[in-house]
Structure formats: structure tokens, C-alpha cells
Copies of this chain bind each other. A is one copy, B any other.
């Protein structure tokens, strides 16, 4: 109801035992969140599933929201790390190759824990101070824009900031929806290729050749 004051982890676990506790709490939160949804999840249940007492949960997370937030942070960091890694690996690749690699990486990332990702995106209420998701978007846009700037000579759009914005949101939405609604479409490369076409044709002047003729 009211903005909750404490959203950040309460203390760093110092001993190995404590780190294991924190880990088990986070994993239990995931499981409960996926199974029961955000509204169905409650701290007593999470603690029970984690095999610890509520007290231990509150020793490390000062509120239910801080707990969820920590999970979101972890998830965002994973996603961002994956994206950054792919961008840096595509340093010298052509736009076509890099884009296709990136789209496949996104599909892969979403496919890792699709149910968890769904909960993250669909159910986690936008708690006050929950800007991590927005931050992640901003960083993703920055990464993409940096990449586009290196290739700007070949690009059609003049406003690269706007282009990054559109590309990031379009790819995220398509990837996310596909994982949830068309999981079978992940097997053959059609989905990945079509998303890549969406991006490349938007960015490049002229037609975009199919992947085999480029690679």
C-alpha cells in the first residue's frame, strides 16, 4: 500500500553456511514464484521450501519485495551479461552475422528459464524503486547503439538512438512472446531468421540476403 522503505538486501552473508542459506532462499523464491505466482507466494512458504525459518529469510532480505528485487537483479545481470558478451564477441563481425548471432542468443537466454522469465516480466509489480528492469533496457539500448554507431555507414536510419530503442523493444517482445506462445518454433531456424530479417531490413538499405549466402 505504501512505498516500502527497505528494498535492499540487509546484510552480506559472510560465512559459507550463510551463503548457502541465501542461495537456497533465492532458489526457493524462484520455484514458488513460478508455481504460485507473485500473489500466491508468501514468505513463510518460501522459507519452508528453502528449508530455513522465516527469521533467516528476514535476516538477509528486509522485506518480501527486497527478496523479489534481488531475484530480478540477478536475472537482469544474467541477461545483460549475456548480451554484453555477444556484443563484444561480434566486435569484428558483419552486421548481418552479428544480428543473427544476437537474436539467437536472446532466444537462447529466454529459453533457459522461460517460466521464471515470464513471471519476472508479467507478474513482478513495478514496485517503487524497481527501476532495474528499466535500467536493463537502457543498458541494452546503449550496447546496441554503440554497435550501430560502428556500422553507421551502412545504416538507413539517421536517428540511431530511436533505432536502438525500436530494435531492443521489438526483439525483446518478439523473443519473449515466441518463447511463451510458440515454443515449438524454436527448433528450426525460421523464427530466429524472421526476427533477424525484421531487424536487418529495418536497419539496412536494400534487401537482406538469407543467412547462408552471407556467412
Contact = CB atoms under 8 A, between A and B. Distances in A.
A198 B174 CA distance: 13
Contacts of A36: 1
Nearest to A198: B202
Interface stretch (A74-82, A93-101, A161-169): A161-169
Contacts of A159: 190, 194
B173 A126 contact: no
Interface string A186-202: 00001100110110011
Given A165-B182, A206-B207, A125 B194 contact: no
B162 A191 contact: yes
Contact of A174 (B170, B178, B201): B170
Interface stretch (A20-28, A37-45, A105-113, A146-154): A37-45
A195 B166 CA distance: 8
A172 B177 CA distance: 11
A159 to B, nearest CB: 7
5 contacts: A159-B190, A162-B191, A165-B178, A198-B202, A206-B207
A179 to B, nearest CB: 12
A194 B157 contact: yes
Contact of A125 (B123, B166, B173, B202): B123
